[in-house]
Chains A and B, each alone.
Chain A
Amino acid sequence: MTGKVEKIKTGIENAGVADATAAVVKEDSAWIKNKRYMYFASMILPGIPILSAFLAGETGNGLWLWSLFIVFYGILPVLDQWSGVDAANPSDELVEELKDDRYYVYILYGATIMHWIALVYMAYTVSTLDISWFSILGGALSIGLANGLALVAGHEMGHKVNDKVQVFFAKLILAVSGYGHFFIEHNKGHHKDVATPEDPATSAFGESIYKFVQREIPGAFRRAWELESARLHRLGKSEWSLSNEIIQPALITITAYTLMLAYFGPVMIPFLAIGAAYGWWQLTGANYIEHYGLMRERDANGRYERCQARHSWNSNHKISNLVLLHLQRHSDHHAHPTRPYQVLRDYPEVPGLPSGYPFMLALAMFPSAWFSLMNPKVVNWAEGDMNKVNIDPDVKEEMFKRYHNPKVA
C-alpha cells in the first residue's frame, strides 16, 4: 500500500514515551472499511464442522469430520504466511466512524448461534453415524478448534461490560465449551496482573506450555471465583446465587451437555470432554504466546507500572488477524481493553512475533523449538538484563547463567 504516512498520537505509553505514535496512511481507509465483509470468517469457520458433518452423513465417510482440524493446522498457517502482513491502521476519523457500527457486533451474535449449531450437529452426527473412533476423534478435535474460536469471540464481547446484550452473548458463546468464568477472570484478573509473576495467564521465560497449563487453568478459575465472590459479597449476596456470573453460563453448559448425553448417548462423554478440553487448550496457547517472558517493572511504591505497549507480543499477519478479530494486535488491546476489534491498531517498536497465532500455537507444542525461537527475542527485549524478564522460578538460575549479559549504558 502506498501513500503519505502520517504519525498520529495514540495516548499509549511505550518505552518511556507517554504518547507513542502510530503510522496511519489515508489511502488504507478503503481497505480497512472493506475488511468488514472479511470478518464473516467468524461465522464461516464454525460452518466448516457443520458442512463436514453434513458431508459425512451424505457420504458415510467419517473422515470428513477432520475438516476443520486440517484447515486450521494445514491451510491457515500457509495462507497466513502467503498473504503476509497487514499493517494498516485506522485514522482517528475512521475509528470514530467504525467503532460504534453495530454491524461488527452482529457478526459476533451470528457466530454465537453458529457455534452452538456446530456443536449440536456434530454431536448428533458422531452419535448416529456408524463411524470409527478415529473419525469421532476428528469431529471432537474439530469442535475443539471451533470452541477455541468461540472463546475469541466471547473474549471480544466479554470486554463490553457496559453493553448488557454483548455480555449475554459472551456468556452464551463461552458456555459452548464450558468456559464461562473466562470474561471475569480475563477482564478483572488477567488485565490487572498481566506481565507479572502473579498472573496465572502470563507465561514465564523457560516455562513450557505443558507446565504453564497446569498453573493457568486452575489459577484462572480460582481467580475468577474469588473476584466474583468478592463482588457478590459487596452486594450482600452469597456466591452461591443466580447472580453469580460464573454460575449463569455454567448452567447453560450443564443443561446443554446433559441433554446431549440423554439424547445422543454415552459417546457424548468422550466427544464433549475432548471438544471442551481442546477448546480450553487453544486459549491456553493464546495466553502462552501473548506475553511470554515479558514483565512490568515496579515503581518506587512497589506498585506495578501500568501495562505498556511493550508488554505484549504482536502480529500483523493478515489472515489470522481476520479470523481472530485482531487479537494479535495485542498491545493496543491491553492499552485499551474496551476498544472494538475493527479499530485496533499496530504500533512501531512493539514486540513482534514471526508468524500469526496458528503457527505459533503449533510451535508452542514443541517446547525446545519454541525456546530456541522466542528466548533470544525476550533477551533482546530486556537488553540482556534478565532481572527485567519474567522467569520461571524453577529455572531462574540456569537462565541467568545462560542469558544474563546486560548492555552497559
Chain B
Amino acid sequence: MKKYECPDCGYIYDETLGAEHEGYPAGTKFEDLPDDFPCPDCFVREKPDFVEVEA
C-alpha cells in the first residue's frame, strides 16, 4: 500500500484509507483513481499533480 501527497495542501492519499467521503473506499489503489481525481481537501490539485511519499 502506497501514499501520495497533495503538493498544495499536504493532504496524503493513503491507499489503506482511501477517501471514503468522496466515494473511494479503503484499499482503493492510487492507479485506480480517475485522472481528474481532485485532492479531497483543497480540490485545486488533481491526480497527476500528486507526489508519491517515500515509505
Closest to B6 in A: A338
Report the interface size class on chain A.
Answer: 10 to 19
A306 at the interface (CB under 8 A from B): yes
A161 at the interface (CB under 8 A from B): yes
Residues of B with C-beta under 8 A to A338: 9, 41-42
Residues of A with C-beta under 8 A to B45: 306
Are A334 and B44 in contact, CB atoms less than 8 angstroms apart? yes
B52 at the interface (CB under 8 A from A): no
Residues of B with C-beta under 8 A to A307: 44
Checking A234, A306, A336, A337 against B22 with a beta-carbon cut-off of 8 angstroms, the contacting residue is A234
A81 at the interface (CB under 8 A from B): no
Checking B9, B11, B23, B41 against A231 with a beta-carbon cut-off of 8 angstroms, the contacting residue is B23
Residues of B with C-beta under 8 A to A187: 43
B24 at the interface (CB under 8 A from A): yes
Interface size on B, residues (CB 8 A): 15
Closest to A164 in B: B21
Are A306 and B40 in contact, CB atoms less than 8 angstroms apart? no
Checking B24, B41, B43, B49 against A162 with a beta-carbon cut-off of 8 angstroms, the contacting residue is B41
Checking B21, B24, B38 against A192 with a beta-carbon cut-off of 8 angstroms, the contacting residue is B38
Closest to B35 in A: A303
Which 4 A-B residue pairs are closest in the complex by CB-CB distance? A234-B23, A235-B23, A337-B42, A187-B43
Residues of A with C-beta under 8 A to B9: 336-338
Provide a sorted-by-A list of 22 A–B residue pairs whose CB atoms are within 8 angstroms.
A161-B41, A162-B11, A162-B41, A188-B38, A188-B43, A191-B44, A231-B21, A231-B22, A233-B23, A234-B24, A235-B23, A306-B44, A306-B45, A306-B49, A307-B44, A335-B8, A336-B42, A337-B9, A337-B43, A337-B44, A338-B9, A338-B42
Residues of B with C-beta under 8 A to A235: 23
Show the binding face of A for B, using Cβ within 8 Å: 161-162, 187-188, 191-192, 231-235, 306-307, 334-338
Show the binding face of B for A, using Cβ within 8 Å: 8-9, 11, 21-24, 38, 40-45, 49
Are A336 and B8 in contact, CB atoms less than 8 angstroms apart? yes
Residues of B with C-beta under 8 A to A232: 23
| Bound CA–CA A192/B40 (angstroms) | 12
| Bound CA–CA A307/B43 (angstroms) | 12
Closest to A237 in B: B23
Closest to A190 in B: B43
Are B43 and A191 in contact, CB atoms less than 8 angstroms apart? yes
Checking B8, B23, B40 against A161 with a beta-carbon cut-off of 8 angstroms, the contacting residue is B40
| Bound CA–CA A162/B22 (angstroms) | 12
Residues of A with C-beta under 8 A to B43: 187-188, 191-192, 337
| Bound CA–CA A233/B13 (angstroms) | 21
Closest to A188 in B: B43
| Bound CA–CA A191/B9 (angstroms) | 14
Residues of A with C-beta under 8 A to B24: 234
Residues of A with C-beta under 8 A to B44: 191-192, 306-307, 334-335, 337
Residue among A161, A234, A338 with the highest chain B CB neighbour number at 10 A: A338
Closest to B49 in A: A306
Residues of B with C-beta under 8 A to A191: 42-44
Residues of B with C-beta under 8 A to A306: 44-45, 49
B40 CB to closest chain A CB (Å) equals 7
Residues of A with C-beta under 8 A to B38: 188, 192
Residues of A with C-beta under 8 A to B22: 231, 234
Residues of B with C-beta under 8 A to A192: 38, 43-44
Residues of A with C-beta under 8 A to B41: 161-162, 338
Residue among B11, B23, B24, B43 with the highest chain A CB neighbour number at 10 A: B43
| Bound CA–CA A232/B49 (angstroms) | 25
Closest to B8 in A: A336
Closest to B40 in A: A161
| Bound CA–CA A233/B21 (angstroms) | 12
B29 CB to closest chain A CB (Å) equals 15
Closest to B45 in A: A306
